[in-house]
Chain A
Amino acid sequence: MWKALLFRHSRPWQLISALTGTGLGLLLLLSSVQIYLNISEYLNGGDINQPRYMVINKRVNMLNTLFGGQKGFSSEELENLKKIKGIRNAAGLTSSQFKVNMSMEDMGMEGIPQLQTELFFESVPAAFADNSITDFHWAPGDSIIPVVLPRDYIKLYNFGFAPSQGLPQLTESMVGLATFRIRLKGPKGQANFKGKLAGFTERVNSILVPQTFLDAMNSQLSGIESGKAKVSRVILECEGTMTGDLHEYFTENGYETGEDALRNAKLSALLKSIMSFLVFIGAVIVLISLLGFVLYAQLVINRSTYEIETLSRLGVTSREMITAYLVYYGKLMIGLLVLAIASTWIISSWFAHYLKGKGFEIDGGISIGVLVMSVLFVAGYWLLQGISIVRSIRKIAV
């Protein structure tokens, strides 16, 4: 019965505007965080913490061509690369220091061409190998070498080479069935192996074999100890949230990379900064409107000084009055939060649907992170409101 007296001085339209402000700020904050997460997830191909890989080399100029000599990365340059923010790890690609001839074994299948080609091998340290490719191991004594090809190669074959030569198109799994004869020839000897396609990768645009195999063959066929071969290309493991800053660093140092990767990085950096800006604005609005809300509650209490004083004289404790206020505002805030979460869900799903029409597959819905943030938000608000209410009531009720 006495509780109604505590809210006698609420003004409905003031309450509604305080609630609207807080609700809109909350909605802006939650939905921009949600969309930020969805976009980041899209840009990083799934997990925001998933690293991205990039291969860089030094720009080749006329002097290299005329006077020979290959540009390579010194170990110092490698160390410097590792120190750059956004780069988690860096390692040189090892390239084969011997000639490689690969030919297809006759599988006894009509229509499958007998191809042979000169090529080269490169390898990356195990830490950089694509996890999705199994059986990418070689130990001394093994006669079969697993080989990984860039996924683009099979497309080139299927859509470029095969039609022009009247050859059948192949699927990835079919190619995996084939074995190859591999002949290696270096200054110190030659060796024969069987090759088997272990898988395709988008990480490195090269023909990859296990590091152990390449080290062993470089040493056996060319006398070059492992780690001594010139590093001409470097693979970088970058943060999922890679920024466009790398581009500047690369240009300054004369490094080159696939422009696509960098353009994507720049674009996503731009998108992310726009979204972070929105999150920031949302946070500011929420903070201001929250303060407004707390001040509103304060105002109601100050207007109710007579009621609070008198109730305390009648035997209502300040604790009971504080609880009444906190329960009331807590209910309002939770209601607001539920509305904001529901609206965020609708907005994010609508946004996903809208982008789908534009050819982007991003997730809709609400992530756990946003829900956790909402709960933290309510807890934070409650704390603030609680402190404010406790202070003012204690001052009034004696």
Chain B
Amino acid sequence: MEIRFEQVLPAPLVDSPLSDQSCWNTSFALPAGSYVSVTAPSGTGKSTLLSIIYGLRHDYSGTVFLEGENIRLLGHEKYCEWRKNRLSMVFQELRLFPQLSAKDNVMLKLSLTNSIEEARVDEWFEALGLGNKMKQSCGTLSLGQQQRVALIRALVQPFSWLLLDEPFSHLDESNSHKAIELIRQRLEENKAGLLVTGLGNNKYFEYTKHISV
């Protein structure tokens, strides 16, 4: 699934000066399976970039193509289908259901696709150090723990692109490494591409492309 941007400029950025390297208002393509790091100072639209791809924002000029289709014309139903099978995203604000348990938050997503065994979910909880938190309601977990639950939720579905919006902002070094291990594994299983923001020029993944916004 190729992602292609053509002269895309978010409405809020119309009047602000763009840096020379900015990807806004230019045209570029992200081939299927590529690992892309999005870097930028805050407030220049890193999250906007992911939100546009995920179909959450439509306030931009220009055109975005997913697998050759103009996403403006995709329609809600098709987008929802893709969000279950093609696109997966960890939101910056996590978007967990605080009253549900950590495990239920993940199982809810799994119930929409049924693409992996429940046992694997348990394994992942263990791997990320959440084995004893599965039954605890999400609202009572620390931010770092919630971030890992959100990550597991994003990984239980099949996807062609994994969109991570500042995924490790609340994780310490060791937890980040455990998470990266799991992400790598799922990326390979799905032969998927990665679009990640907020990691700077880290060496966690073998990026094929850097985008600056």
A interface list, Cβ under 8 A from B: 1-2, 5, 8, 307, 309-310, 312-319, 397-398
Which B residues, 42 to 81, have Cβ-Cβ distances below 8 Å to chain A? 54-56, 76-77, 80-81
Give 9 closest A-B pairs by Cβ, nearest first: A315-B84, A315-B83, A317-B80, A310-B95, A1-B111, A315-B80, A1-B108, A317-B77, A315-B112
Distance from B160 Cβ to chain A, minimum over Cβ atoms (Å)? 14
> What are 26 pairs between A and B in contact, CB < 8 Å?
A1-B107, A1-B111, A2-B108, A5-B97, A5-B108, A310-B95, A310-B97, A312-B76, A312-B80, A313-B54, A313-B56, A313-B83, A313-B95, A314-B83, A314-B84, A314-B108, A315-B80, A315-B81, A315-B82, A315-B83, A315-B113, A315-B157, A317-B76, A317-B77, A317-B80, A318-B76
**Residues in chain A near residue B104, CB distance under 8 A:** 1
B interface list, Cβ under 8 A from A: 54-56, 76-77, 80-84, 89, 91, 95, 97, 99-100, 104, 107-109, 111-113, 157
- Of all chain B residues, the one with the shortest Cβ separation from A397 is B76
Of the candidates B91, B99, B113, B157, which one forms a contact with A313 in the assembled complex, judged by CB atoms under 8 Å apart? B91
Q: Could you tell me if B91 and A2 are in contact, using CB atoms closer than 8 angstroms? A: no
Q: Could you tell me if B81 and A2 are in contact, using CB atoms closer than 8 angstroms? A: no
**Residues in chain B near residue A307, CB distance under 8 A:** 97
**Residues in chain B near residue A5, CB distance under 8 A:** 97, 100, 108
- Of all chain A residues, the one with the shortest Cβ separation from B99 is A8
Total cross-chain contacts (CB, 8 A): 47
Distance from A391 Cβ to chain B, minimum over Cβ atoms (Å)? 14
Distance from A300 Cβ to chain B, minimum over Cβ atoms (Å)? 15
A318 to B80, CA, bound (A): 9
Q: Could you tell me if A316 and B111 are in contact, using CB atoms closer than 8 angstroms? A: no
Distance from A141 Cβ to chain B, minimum over Cβ atoms (Å)? 84
- Of all chain A residues, the one with the shortest Cβ separation from B109 is A314
Distance from A87 Cβ to chain B, minimum over Cβ atoms (Å)? 61
**Residues in chain A near residue B77, CB distance under 8 A:** 317, 319
- Of all chain B residues, the one with the shortest Cβ separation from A311 is B108
**Residues in chain B near residue A314, CB distance under 8 A:** 83-84, 108-109, 112
A1 to B81, CA, bound (A): 18
Distance from A227 Cβ to chain B, minimum over Cβ atoms (Å)? 76
**Residues in chain A near residue B97, CB distance under 8 A:** 5, 307, 310
Q: Could you tell me if A313 and B89 are in contact, using CB atoms closer than 8 angstroms? A: yes
**Residues in chain A near residue B107, CB distance under 8 A:** 1
**Residues in chain A near residue B100, CB distance under 8 A:** 5
- 12 extra interface residue pairs, beta carbon distance < 8 Å, beyond A1-B111, A314-B112: A1-B104, A1-B108, A2-B112, A5-B100, A307-B97, A310-B97, A312-B80, A314-B83, A315-B82, A317-B80, A397-B76, A398-B76
- Of all chain B residues, the one with the shortest Cβ separation from A394 is B76
- Of all chain B residues, the one with the shortest Cβ separation from A318 is B76
Find the residue from A307, A319, A398 having the highest chain B CB count within 10 A.
Answer: A398
**Residues in chain B near residue A313, CB distance under 8 A:** 54, 56, 83, 89, 91, 95
Q: Could you tell me if A316 and B112 are in contact, using CB atoms closer than 8 angstroms? A: yes
**Residues in chain A near residue B113, CB distance under 8 A:** 315
Distance from B55 Cβ to chain A, minimum over Cβ atoms (Å)? 7
**Residues in chain B near residue A312, CB distance under 8 A:** 76, 80
